[in-house]
Amino acid sequence: MDNCIFCKIIGGEIPSATIYEDDKFKVVLDRFPGNIGHVLILPKTHYADIFEIDEDTASELFRLAVNVAKNMKAVLGFEAMNVVQNNGSLAGQTIHHFHLHLIPRYPDDKVNIKWEQLDLTDEQIEDVRAKLEMK
């Protein structure tokens, strides 16, 4: 994609702090991180979001994420991690190239990933469950 900043990073047009790369993925430090050590896992094929990515690529990406996360924890020594993946502008996606955030968490950091919980009735939950049930 001509205007995609992540495609430009993957193609080497824009420099990046790459920590891992193979023929399918590039893992880079986020240029504007939520915390020290915040990385992005980028598939080299352009997929706008989770609705476009194929199952095989997603599976490989999450396998890679487990290995990267374990390495990050061993090296950086943080105690927790958020794994974040946004899809669509309404969900907070600002670059429409599928990417996975691995955000280390440290005591007293400034990362805030929260939402207000809904208090649904049993009937509302059942209605949604029935609509979403996969056969």
- List the alpha helices (DSSP H) in the chain: 5-10, 55-76, 122-132
Given 38, 96, 97, 99, which residue is catalytic?
A: 99
Backbone dihedral region of 123: left (phi > 0), alpha (psi from -120 to 50 degrees) or beta? Answer: alpha
Residues 6+ apart with CB under 8 A from 5: 14, 95, 97
- Please indicate whether residue 46 is annotated as part of the active site: no
- Alpha helices, H only, 23-110: 55-76
Q: Catalytic residues, which ones?
A: 99
